[in-house]
Structures are given as structure tokens and as C-alpha cells.
């Protein structure tokens, strides 16, 4: 099945898997998806991810609490294919007062909102995670 928006596919599959309390979810492989997954892992939203180069797939292991509640409460795609959202570094939102992250595509690469503010670079606001 072909998707027009690979980032929306990533977020939707993770959202559906966490709602169904699956242990992992398989996704197609791309560089921007890997960068987003690296940010999610470094901020503690997912446990890990494995890349299968031969099949061009990525397996994302979701993270849950001891009471089997997902660590991810919400994923929101901000910039879409039809309407891109570009923001300056001073306009980057603080998601849930710092409990979540905003993922921004900048000239220095895909970074979280806090890093973009420190680097004083703006860019395309891809999504927010909390």
C-alpha cells in the first residue's frame, strides 16, 4: 500500500499500536523516520528500534509502564503535505510545559524543539509528542 505522507504513516501506526497495546510495530524504512525514531528513543517515548536493511523495514518496540499504560499519550502531525508549517526558533511550542517534545526539521537536521531553540534555528514543525 502506497502512502503519500510517510511521516503521517509513522505516527498513525505508532498511535494505533499503542492503543492496541502491541509490543512492537513494523514500518517502512526512510532516513527521516529513523531520525524521528532516534529522537523518540532519546526522550524515552519508545524502547528501541531495529533496522532490517534487506527488507527495508524498521521494527519499533513501544514502551509501557508497569501497569501496561503507554508512555506515549499523544502524537500530533502539525505540518502536512498540503499545508507546511514553518516557524522561527522563538515560536517553537513547549509541549505540555516541557513534558512532551516538538520535532522540527531544521537546516542542521531533524532535532527536538529544545535543541532548535538553543541553536537558534527555525524550520518545519513536523509533529508534537507527549
Cβ atoms < 10 Å from Cβ of 69: 11
> Residue 105, exposed/middle/buried by CB under 10 A (0-12, 13-18, 19+)?
buried
Going through 24-119 in order, the beta strands assigned E by DSSP cover 24-28, 46-52, 57-62, 75-77, 86-87, 101-106, 109-112
- The reply to whether CATH 3.40.50.300 applies to domain 75-129 is no
- Given a cut of 60, whether residue 2 has pLDDT beyond it is no
The tens digit of pLDDT for each residue in 41-91 reads 999 999 999 999 999 999 999 999 999 999 999 999 999 999 999 999 999
| Confidence at 4, pLDDT banded by 50, 70, 90 | confident
Is 129 in contact with 101 (CB distance < 8 Å)? yes
Closest among 3, 2, 5 to 80, alpha carbons compared: 5
Architecture of the 6-62 domain:
2-Layer Sandwich (3.30)
Q: Domain boundaries in the chain?
A: 6-62, 75-129
Tell me the mean pLDDT in the region 2-6: 78
pLDDT at 1 over 80: no
Residue 38: band (very low, low, confident or very high) from pLDDT cuts 50, 70, 90: very high
Amino acid at each position: 500500500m502506497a502512502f503519500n505522507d510517510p511521516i503521517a504513516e509513522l505516527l498513525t501506526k505508532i498511535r494505533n499500536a499503542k492503543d492496541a497495546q502491541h509490543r512492537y510495530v513494523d514500518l517502512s524504512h526512510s532516513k527521516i523516520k529513523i531520525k524521528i525514531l532516534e529522537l523518540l528513543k532519546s526522550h524515552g517515548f519508545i524502547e528501541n528500534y531495529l533496522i532490517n536493511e534487506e527488507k527495508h523495514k524498521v521494527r519499533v518496540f513501544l514502551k509501557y509502564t508497569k501497569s501496561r499504560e503507554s508512555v506515549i499519550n499523544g502524537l500530533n502531525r502539525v505540518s502536512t503535505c498540503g499545508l507546511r508549517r514553518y516557524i522561527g526558533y522563538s515560536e517553537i511550542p513547549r509541549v505540555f510545559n516541557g513534558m512532551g517534545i516538538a520535532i522540527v526539521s531544521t537546516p542542521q537536521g531533524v532535532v527536538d524543539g529544545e535543541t532548535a531553540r538553543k541553536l537558534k534555528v527555525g524550520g518545519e514543525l513536523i509533529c508534537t509528542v507527549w
